[in-house]
Chains A and B, each alone.
Chain A
Amino acid sequence: MNGNAGVTELSQIDLRSLATGHKRTWDAFVTAASPLINAVVRRTLATYRSSEDDVMDAAQDVFLRLCANNFRLLQTYDPARAGLSTWLAVVARSAAVDFARRRRQATSPIDEVPESALAVEDRHVEKLKIPHGLLTERQTLILKCLYDEERDVSEIAQLLKIDAQTVRSTHHKALLRLREHFKEEAP
């Protein structure tokens, strides 16, 4: 998924040897996985009041989760379905979120919170329900990322592994469909 040194090394890890608890393989795995786990944990804990020690402890939690019960979690990884780095990133994020929830309440700097999340909803204005099936799952996701999360087209393209132009056209088609359904013409 990316070309940095740490993740390239991860692909060379002998997973069978790792799952049997071979010390040298574990050490090599830790060396290769540390940059990724460090980045994921740091990013996840950025929204919490976390110290450097918290980052270290959360990263240790990730590694502990991987080797606990005779490497049971590592044995659930299926190389045919996803790259080790992507799977590890998902596992690390999940462990870091659990760690942060155990420690303290989440807080976000107000500048990083999307405007939509801060806005006080006018409960007097009843929202129009989008009928089920009017938009595809992808169209809904793109609209949510653009308007609820306030993300750039490039970020959404990176997430969905499509080019930015496809994101724009999907967004355009989704709005056309919505306007058509609710009988309003676009300007």
Chain B
Amino acid sequence: MSTERIPLDDKALWRRLATSPVAPAAVSDMDFAAWLEGRLPETAAARIEAAVATDPALRQAALELADILGKPLPVAPPRMAVRAQALVGFPAERQVRKSWLASLLPDFGQGFALQRGALAACAVFVAAVGFMLGGGLSERYEDAVYASRQSSTDAARPLGRDTTGELNDLFTDAT
């Protein structure tokens, strides 16, 4: 008990006093919501009130939430709902999203990475087979390149010589 002079003003008196330091108790979301609605029995409510009195952050949360829940709410931006709705898809959509190649493979359930790995292995296999089969094609391609080189070399020959040759051919055919 103190013998110091106590301020007459209520607010000043409170400022001179300190509540007993108590560690704030953990309050679950469900308990806090029940307390905000005034649904808790007296003993349980007292526990939450002690926590709210001790913890300034919890007190601010309580005052803000009581204010929000007691007023008409403004309309939310439509984009907010659209984004949130996209978080959950139709089950049918989830199945359709599988590619036709993935559908050929056995379903690995939760092993999404394993499925992707198997797909990648298939792709490598197909590429390797294609490369080996492509040997014949490449020979034809080389022939084609060689032929085009030859024709381009012909085109580079002097014009006079070619023209003379063609005229000789023409006269030979005519005779």
Which A residues have a C-beta under 8 Å from some C-beta of B? Answer: 1-4, 6-7, 21, 23, 26-27, 30-31, 34-40, 43-44, 56, 59-60, 63-64, 67, 76-78, 81-83, 85-87, 89-91, 93-94, 97, 116, 125, 127-132, 136-138, 140-141, 143-145, 147-149, 151, 155, 158-161, 175, 178-179, 181-184, 186-187
Contacts and interface: CB of A to CB of B under 8 A. Distances in A.
B107 interface: no
A34 B80 contact: yes
Interface of B: 1-6, 8, 10-11, 13-20, 29-30, 32-34, 36-39, 46-47, 49-50, 52-53, 56, 59-77, 79-81, 83-85, 87-91
B2 A87 contact: no
Grouping DSSP codes into helix (H, G, I), strand (E, B) and loop, the A interface class, with mixed when no group exceeds half, is helix
Contacts of B10: 147, 175
Contacts, number: 194
Contacts of A1: 37, 69-70
Contact of A81 (B34, B49, B80): B34
A55 to B, nearest CB: 8
Given A82-B33, A158-B66, A4 B72 contact: yes
Grouping DSSP codes into helix (H, G, I), strand (E, B) and loop, the B interface class, with mixed when no group exceeds half, is helix
B29 to A, nearest CB: 5
B19 A130 contact: yes
B18 A182 contact: no
Nearest to B36: A86
Nearest to A147: B14
A86 B33 contact: yes
A64 B49 CA distance: 30
A39 B68 contact: yes
A138 B46 contact: yes
Contact of A183 (B1, B32, B46, B52): B1
A185 to B, nearest CB: 9
B70 A127 contact: no
A148 B11 CA distance: 9
A82 to B, nearest CB: 4
A93 B68 CA distance: 11
A179 B6 contact: yes
A159 B14 contact: no
Contacts of A147: 10-11, 14-15
A137 B58 CA distance: 14
